[in-house]
Structures are given as structure tokens and as C-alpha cells.
A and B are shown apart, each in its own frame.
Chain A
């Protein structure tokens, strides 16, 4: 059973990485959260009967753990003015333009509430409203309203990041 479980989690590791990156402010926070999610998944696994899709089940557990994690989070490191960095560090460029855009996306996500983060995650993962409802327990009508608001926020915030507004 353990091997099957590890196999399933490994297949879906990407989801867990993204959730931890979204909800964990620092590296130790992300490691703690990853560990907690895996422990909760393992504890719940014997009761998983396959009624729901494995990914839906995994999203529920991971988001439940991340959202209701009541531990005090360490503060996310503040951004530093590049001009104040030592010369050697200034030479380190972003590995790619994509990584830079990803950083901008994460800094926009960081300004969202816990619930908005969960909705953004599901939206970016192309989940349908039906699946979102199954995971979060929020009605589809309510989800549509919230999603429109979040999309506007994301558009605005990523634009701010690109053009340096705000």
C-alpha cells in the first residue's frame, strides 16, 4: 500500500509543490507544509475508496491543510533593491524571462487572501466550476462571482508588476 501511495503522490507532486509555494512564505515554511500535507494524505489514504478522482481528493486534503494551518508563518523575505546588492549577486540574473514572470505571478498571488489563493490555484490548473465546488464546497454561482473578482485583481496586479505601477 505504501508503494502505491508513494507512486500516486509522486505522480501528483507538482500540485503539492505549487500549493506549498503559494502558502509557504519561506523555505522552512514550505518544507513544513509539504511534510504536513503528505502526513495528512497518508493518514487519509486507507479510507480513499476512489469515489472521487485522486487529484480531487488530493486537492481537498492539501488545501484543507494549507488553509487551516494555524501555525505562525515566518515573514516572507522582503524584496531588496538590486542596487543595494553586492556586485557578485547583481550579476546573477533570472534564469529566464519565464522565471521572472513566474516570480511576478507569485508576488501577485501573495497579496491575495488564503481563499483567493486556493481559487487562483484551481483556476490556473484549469479546474471546472464543478470540480472547484467539489473541492471547496462553495456553490458554482458564488464561485463565478468570486472568480471574476480574482481575475480582475490578478490582471491588475500583474500589470502593476510589469509596468512598475503601484
Chain B
């Protein structure tokens, strides 16, 4: 078939019968796209964290005549760190897709943000460590001199290890998709 012929056939095609939905009803539905689902999961995670931490924080404050207040403080700090992490992750996911942008820049953005999301988790691990360390300092619990460098030594490879573990987990979840996005980008740039 000649290309002009193809164009004519293309233009004359009839609309598909299976795609005649009620538009009013359609507009009330929620997105089932991958980003919408990822954002929903983050919100559920944040809610579960909140519901499980708050009773513990209150209990540690009330029980044992408040002698375990520092545990409450430590848990509150961890909760704050995780909430910052959840907010950051949610904001990243929100920014991840720009459907009104040119297709190429939207793909670049998605690839970049997928990478940043894994980095956010590593940083939050560091921040959580700092929060615990600070709460121990507040309580005045002495840390033996030999323990401090050991903790740092454990935290650094721990964070790097966690980053790679997280990356592997992310690849398992979205690896094929991330690869697909990268391949698409490469194909776009190839001359």
C-alpha cells in the first residue's frame, strides 16, 4: 500500500464501538495510573505509621510515671523524620508526571525523579540516625567513646547498603518500567 493510501484509510476509520463511555461518569473516576497508585501507597504507609506510633508515644509518656519520656521523644522525632520523608516522596511523585509537557521532557523528568526517590530514602536513614543520636544526647545517656566511631562506621556503609538494597527493591518494582522509559529517551535522542 502506498503511504497516501494509508493516510486515506487512517482518516476514514470509524470510531470504535467499545469506546463510547459516559463522559460525565468518567470524570468522577480516580486515576489508575502508576503514579496515582504509588502516591496512594505512600499515603497509606504514612497513615499506618501515624496510627502505630501515636499510641506508643502516648503510652511511654503516661506509663512508669513518665520516666520513659525520652522514648516518646525519640519516637516522635522518628515520626517527624518519616513524615518529612513521606511528604517529600509524595511531592516528588506529584511532580513526576507532567502530562502537558512535551513528551521528551516528561520522560526525562520521570527518569530523573525515579532516581531521586531512591536517594531520598538513603538521606532519611541518615536523618533518622541523627534524630536517635540527638534524643540520646538530650537524655544525657553517655555513649562510650569507642561506640561513637563504630556507630558512624556502621551508619555509613549501612546507608550505602540500604541505598543499594532500596535501589534493587525499586528495580524489582519499577525496574522494567524505568528501563522502558530510559530506552524511550535513548530512542528519542538517536538520530
Tell me how far the C-beta of A161 lies from the nearest C-beta in chain B, rounded to whole angstroms.
8
Total chain A interface residues with beta-carbon distance under 8 A: 64
Nearest to B15 among chain A residues (CB) is A17
- Residues facing A in B158-191 (CB within 8 A) are 174, 177, 180-181, 184, 187-189, 191
Q: Given A113-B187, A155-B3, do A13 and B10 touch, yes or no (CB 8 Å)?
A: no
Report whether A69 and B33 are in contact in the complex, using a CB–CB cutoff of 8 Å: yes
Residue pairs across A and B with CB atoms within 8 Å: the count is: 144
Most buried by B among A21, A43, A68: A68
A40 within 8 A of B: yes
Main secondary structure of the interface of A (DSSP, over half): helix
- Which of B13, B27, B191 meets A2, CB within 8 Å? B27
- Docked Cα-Cα span, A161 to B30, in Å, equals 40
Are A39 and B177 in contact, with the CB atoms below 8 A? no
Q: Tell which of B10, B98, B174, B177 has the most Cβ of chain A within 10 Å.
A: B10
On chain B, the residues within 8 Å of A124 by CB distance are 6-7, 10-11
Task: Give the shortest distance, in Å, between A72 (CB) and chain B (any CB).
Answer: 9
Pairs across A and B, CB under 8 Å, 13 listed: A18-B13, A21-B16, A34-B21, A39-B31, A60-B103, A67-B107, A98-B9, A115-B188, A124-B10, A124-B11, A137-B102, A137-B104, A141-B191
Contact surface of B with A, Cβ cutoff 8 Å:
1-3, 5-7, 9-13, 15-16, 18-19, 21, 23-24, 26-27, 29-34, 97-107, 110, 174, 177, 180-181, 184, 187-189, 191
